[in-house]
Structure 1
Amino acid sequence: MALRINDIAPDFTADTTEGQISFHDWIGDGYAVLFSHPKDFTPVCTTELGQMAGMVDEFAKRDAKIIGISVDPVEDHHKWKSDIQSLTGNQVSYPMIGDPDLKIAKLYDMLPAEETRTDGRTPADNATVRSVFVIGPDKKVKLSLTYPMTTGRNFDEILRALDSIRLTAQHKVATPANWQQGADVIVTPAVSDDEAREKFGEFEQRLPYLRTVKQPG
């Protein structure tokens, strides 16, 4: 069954480059960004893992942990890390999950549940293992994105979305298209005009169903 927004992210136990983890326990009380790869030593993924390695502090500022997964063994991940650092100058300090039996890829609906072949798989066989999941402190999926193998992921967009997710979880607002930190936000329809004035001060009525205010907080 496909994972949808607000579904509980499946829990699992797995070996990683930082030792064995139980996923929900590892997430703890913050957010997690799980991003997946179809194979080790692939060119686009090498650039992505290095990019994320350089953004660990930015995610930490947002109370978010990073974890990668590839359908190869952990020992291969350790070898791959040196290539990643050599190419990007960034050392991978976040855990990378080994998933050679495809258990987690199938658990997260990135591969069909009936897929049984594990040996001799190519990146093309695993092309759909190219998803990003943002998971909240409640262990629910807040965002999911899947990219083709030839298109490198934009992790600045993941940060922007995470900022929106955290802001809108704290306040009764939504963010408009292309929103950036500090820009105006939308008052959700569930908030009455009187409550909006009490919470945010005066608002701008852009359309009968669209009210904007300065970003709270």
Structure 2
Amino acid sequence: MNLRLLQDHIAAFRRHLDTATEFPLLFAWESQRIFQETWDPNAVDFAAMYEASLENSHSRALWKGERYSPKEMMQLFIQTYPDFVKDMFKDLFDETREADGRVDRFVYHCDELLRDYRDTHPDFIETRHYHEDYRMPALYLAFRYPDLYALFEDDAFRRFLRMVQAKDLPLVADPGRYFKVVRTVYNLLAKDESLLELHYRRLEPGLHFMGKSMLLGAEAIVFPG
């Protein structure tokens, strides 16, 4: 990455934090807090726990949209294959293994479950589980480990890499590389105390997650400049 271009982008992001009245991803900080407070892998009712972990008082855009229903599909998997899905999340959240491998396995298992469900329910018309683009696996990781991972949007990531003149643009979605880049961006942001003050000024204690979070780095990457 071109360091000067990256620093210019961070300066523009700082001005955005100082002058903007709306922040497109601000609502995600609430969902991050809710997930942190709610997620329990040992919950007796895993389906209810999963449902309660993905909530927001402002928007459900992260898991619900037009022709986009990842939360509903995961609920179906949990209800049909509860033990298998628990193991899927256990593996996804296992920090002793490489993140990109965990994410790929999670998507692979979603593929398997959808294939099996369609085989046993011939009238089921859904053809996607909505985890294949890595957005939801990254969301689970970002909400479970805020200080390590962030929400992933492949198009925005590619635009950012082109903007800072990064070499070897990924040919396919690469969440592993994204997580490394977002940490680099966050570390640069965190060195600017005035920027952090502007960031925390827009958060509401008790509503938003107030700890260290790579979500700030993700916001900088998504920011068009």
Superposition TM-score, scaled by structure 1 size = 0.29
* Higher RCO, 1 vs 2 (CA within 8 Å, ≥6 residues apart): 2
Higher relative helix content: 2
Superposition TM-score, scaled by structure 2 size = 0.28
